[in-house]
Amino acid sequence: MLRLDRLFLQGSGFEARAAGSIGERLSWAVQVSDPSAFVPGSAGRLSASGWIRRAKERLAGAATVRGSNISMTGVRVSAVEADAVLGSGEPQRLGGRVYLKGLARGPVRIGTAELKTTGTVGNHTIRVLLESREGKMEAALQGRYEKAVWYGVLETLNGRDTAGSWGLRDPASLVVSAERTSVSPVRIAGTGGESVDFSMDVSGDPMRGFFSARWQKINLARLDFILSDCQIRGLTEGHVRADFRERDRATVSSAVALAGTMTLDGLTLDVKEGTGKLDWDKGGLTASAHADLGRSGRLAARLSSTDPPRAGLPERGDFRLTADQLDAALLKPFFPEPLSMTSALSGSAAGRLLPRSRLDAAGEVKLTQGAFSLQDKRGQVTAHAQRAQLRWTWREKTLSGDVDLLLTNHGSLKADFHLPIPAKLPVAIEEEGPIRLAVRADMREKGLLSALFPSLIQESRGRFDLDGNVSGTWRIPNVHGTLKIEQADAYLPTTGIQLSDVAMDARFEDQAVHITSFRAHSGPGSIEGNGTVRLKNREIRQIEARLEGERFQVVRLPEMEMLASPRLTFEGLPGVLKVRGSITIPELLIRGGERGAVSRPSKDVVMVGEGRAKERRRPVPVDLEVRVVLGDRAFVKAEGVDARMEGDVLLAARFLDAMKATGEIRLKDGTYSAKGLRLDITRGRIVFEGARADQPRLDVLALRTVAERPDQAGQSLGSFREVKAGVIITGTPQAPLVRLYSEPAMSDADVMSYIVLGRQAGADASKAAMLGAAAEALLSGGGSESTLSRLKRQFGPDTVDMKSTRAGTASQSIITVGKYLQPDLYVSYGRSLFNEDYFVSLRYALSPKWEVESKAGAQTGANLYFRIEFD
């Protein structure tokens, strides 16, 4: 007897373990984290464990299964729990439970499904429970298993849903084995005269027996139980009967009728009357169906054959399908989201069924009163079709036909096609089959691109001419023809520029696309270029292109305006695009508020959701080396800096999201301002040292120069000397470090005094507030908190503030200094920088809830505050 001491198997997304002997006890366990290795396209996690034993010709064992988020062969289940046990005693115990949550396949949705079995092999009970948001269904069976046959009785079967309750009239017997399946009449009754009768007894190979079902006045609203996204209302009745006898003497007959409405995703289909009928015996098959959709049109289908009954479609036969004035809105689910079509569609298809699932068919589709619309947040672009027609033939190894489309004020399109799609079911494309396609289009674009890409393009228009043909095979097509775009304009909101006179000429030759010319205007300048794209197996194999321009406006936004003169070349191979050249920036203006106008979060702020896993995008490989050169009119007026810029930077990258830079940008003829203070920039450099382009090193020195005589015994005597005081800024733009600087060296308080007052700090307490506010403006948020705190302590007050107020049409700047005399008592003094206005304020906390404040100055008053704190 085989015994496993230890078995361990591991592969991509799974592992399995086993140990023991099947004659005694074989234990096993399986873990699956990627079921796509077994079933392509599947997903989820599954674990199972148990044991099995076979002794004295009797099988026994137990198993436990758990799973989550499983998707396989079109079925999805959010959770799976299964337990089973098969005893070894006499009588042999049988027990089990299967629980499924979130079961779905296509439009069918079931909230939970549960099956329980208790008892023995010779006498057991099976209970089934299905529940959804709209109702539930229960069933109970009693059964026994002996000599490879299961005998059972369906004792109860009932349910309740939005249409009311229903249930089994009488118990029904069942017999199931490998050779035979039998169900005695199952009779179900519901509200409003609903009834279903079902029975069958089928056995043998070849098949013998019968299958019969009949239903009356069935309320289609009962389908809400399993169709959560689709609402169906109406009634249906019908029957189906199949008798299987020897020597091709089987007969099948059925008839069905229904009337009702179906609503899905806001689209309603109203079936005034729908009928279907099928009769199939040794004399042949006759089947027909008809649907009257009221204002939405009519559908009809017919199938006939001389073949005797068989499983599936007959080998030979004739069929015809027709649609008359069908509302094109019914095809909305098959169109992309922003595209819709309103028209009346009429068409037909007729042909023959041939042996080996082959077809020979032809047909046509015509649209009358047609209109195509693209909807976006800003409105709708509509093109009316004067003529729209498709004719096709599907025969032997080819699907061929032609398209003729004429749009009012938008041009025309004509095409002839021969595609290697054999007329056979299931449909498949022959990769090595010949292909022929000829297309001629003369289109006028008026807002179409704006509707397709509303966030990128607005107010688009242009003319599009295409004359091309395709030959070769489906796998390796050869394309020839020309493409011309002219008189095109568009507004790009993300950069604020207006493109005009956009034109392009392209030529298709076999596996290459030659862009012979391209040009576009923006602002005072333009760009132009050309290039070649070579293809192989429908993939880009090589790119060669150049792009040149003069004073082309690339940005025109309130915060930035920029003109560019590119000189670029592009060379691409599979996996990487090589970019070389230079971009001169003849004009650049960067605008922004003064320093501190924009509030940035401190380092200890935690952004909610910041730690969530972001969608990882595959980096785009590129071999880029481009030098960016600033021209004579490059200025920055932002964050307190007002200066001209000069210099150049070499941008290099192997991936677009990892740009590196080498070079230097210099600030010339500039000043640095903050809260009314103004310093001259004597040295300004933004240095790129080969690291990330967004992390340059700052080296900025901004000074105020004061000429004074040395003070001796209260008199200014001797020759003049220059005192320089200001700030030096280092670090990076993301984390700048602002420090005080002076020549000669002096204390921080003296440096601030020279910056603000133009002289050494004295004992004048009235200037302390002004110096404190200046320190706050220059040093806050610049990594110099320790220096700022030291200056505040030296200047005395607990709070220093500078703000502007408006009185009538005039505004004034007020310095306010405050101090806590006691924890509950706060006093402040404010004075205008430019006149004699002042105020004195005193605030006292009477209790944790009540505070009183008095203010004396140009206006005198008192306020009483009640504090309400929110958690």
Express each pLDDT in 842-861 by its tens digit: 888 888 888 888 887 767 77
pLDDT digits (tens, 9 = 90+) for 231-272: 899 999 999 999 988 766 889 999 999 999 988 877 888 999
Phi, psi for 496 (deg, rounded to 5): 75, 20
Give 273's DSSP letter.
E
pLDDT value of residue 807 = 52
Q: 823: alpha, beta or left, given left = phi > 0 and alpha = psi -120 to 50?
A: alpha
Q: Which residues contact 542 (CB under 8 A, 6 or more apart)?
A: 532, 533, 534, 571, 572, 573
How many Å apart are CA 865 and CA 852, to the nearest integer? 6
Orientation angle between helical segments 785-795 and 748-756, nearest 10 degrees: 80
Of the two residues 124 and 134, the one the predictor is more confident about is: 124
Of the two residues 847 and 125, the one the predictor is more confident about is: 125
How many Å apart are CA 425 and CA 579, to the nearest integer? 49
What separation in angstroms does the CA of 349 have from each of 201, 352, 668, 827? 39, 10, 77, 93
Report residue 386 as tokens. 């004067």
Orientation angle between helical segments 768-779 and 748-756, nearest 10 degrees: 100
pLDDT value of residue 251 = 93
Strand, coil or helix: 496: coil
Which of these ranges, 16-20, 648-652, 821-825, has the smallest mean pLDDT?
821-825
Can you give the three-state secondary structure of 740-807, one letter per residue? EEEECCCCHHHHHHHHHCCCCCCCCHHHHHHHHHHHHHHHCCCCCHHHHHHHHHHHCCCEEEEEEEEE
Whether the predicted pLDDT of 483 surpasses 60: yes
pLDDT value of residue 448 = 59
Whether the predicted pLDDT of 99 surpasses 80: yes
pLDDT value of residue 76 = 94
Whether the predicted pLDDT of 520 surpasses 80: yes
Whether the predicted pLDDT of 599 surpasses 60: no
pLDDT value of residue 597 = 45
pLDDT digits (tens, 9 = 90+) for 430-450: 999 999 999 999 988 776 566
Rounded mean pLDDT, 684-705: 89
The closest of 787, 712, 726 to 754, measured between CA atoms, is 726
Which of these ranges, 3-17, 179-193, 630-644, 773-787, has the smallest mean pLDDT?
773-787
pLDDT value of residue 239 = 97
Of the two residues 393 and 776, the one the predictor is more confident about is: 393
pLDDT value of residue 321 = 96
The closest of 516, 522, 490 to 504, measured between CA atoms, is 516
Which of these ranges, 21-25, 833-837, 862-866, has the smallest mean pLDDT?
833-837
pLDDT digits (tens, 9 = 90+) for 724-774: 988 888 888 778 888 888 888 888 778 878 887 777 776 554 455 555 555
pLDDT value of residue 421 = 95
Rounded mean pLDDT, 590-597: 61
Give this prediction's pTM: 0.64
Which of these ranges, 503-517, 722-736, 773-787, has the smallest mean pLDDT?
773-787
Identify the band that residue 370 occupies on the pLDDT scale cut at 50, 70 and 90.
confident
Which of these ranges, 35-39, 178-182, 197-201, 285-289, has the smallest mean pLDDT?
35-39
Sign of dihedral through CA atoms 488, 493, 494, 496? positive
Strands 721-731 and 715-716: unpaired
pLDDT value of residue 206 = 76
Which of these ranges, 178-192, 302-316, 604-618, 633-647, has the smallest mean pLDDT?
604-618
pLDDT value of residue 708 = 77
Phi, psi for 13 (deg, rounded to 5): 85, 10
Q: What is the mean pLDDT of the chain?
A: 84
Q: Which residues contact 525 (CB under 8 A, 6 or more apart)?
A: 549, 550, 551, 552, 553, 563, 565
The closest of 58, 55, 85, 81 to 70, measured between CA atoms, is 81
How many Å apart are CA 27 and CA 22, to the nearest integer? 9
For residue 772, count CB atoms less than 10 angstroms from its CB and return exposed for 0-12, middle for 13-18, buried for 19 or more: buried
pLDDT value of residue 788 = 47
Rounded mean pLDDT, 347-361: 94
What separation in angstroms does the CA of 231 have from each of 162, 163, 267, 564? 11, 13, 10, 58
Identify the band that residue 612 occupies on the pLDDT scale cut at 50, 70 and 90.
very low
Strand, coil or helix: 452: helix
Strand, coil or helix: 625: strand
DSSP code string of 75-140: EEEEEEEEEEEE--SSSPBEEEEEEEEEEEETTEEEEEEEEEEEEETTEEEEEEEEEETTEEEEEE
pLDDT value of residue 598 = 47
Whether the predicted pLDDT of 800 surpasses 70: no
Q: What percent of the chain has pLDDT over 90?
A: 47
| Structural contact between residues 359 and 398, judged by C-beta atoms closer than 8 angstroms | no
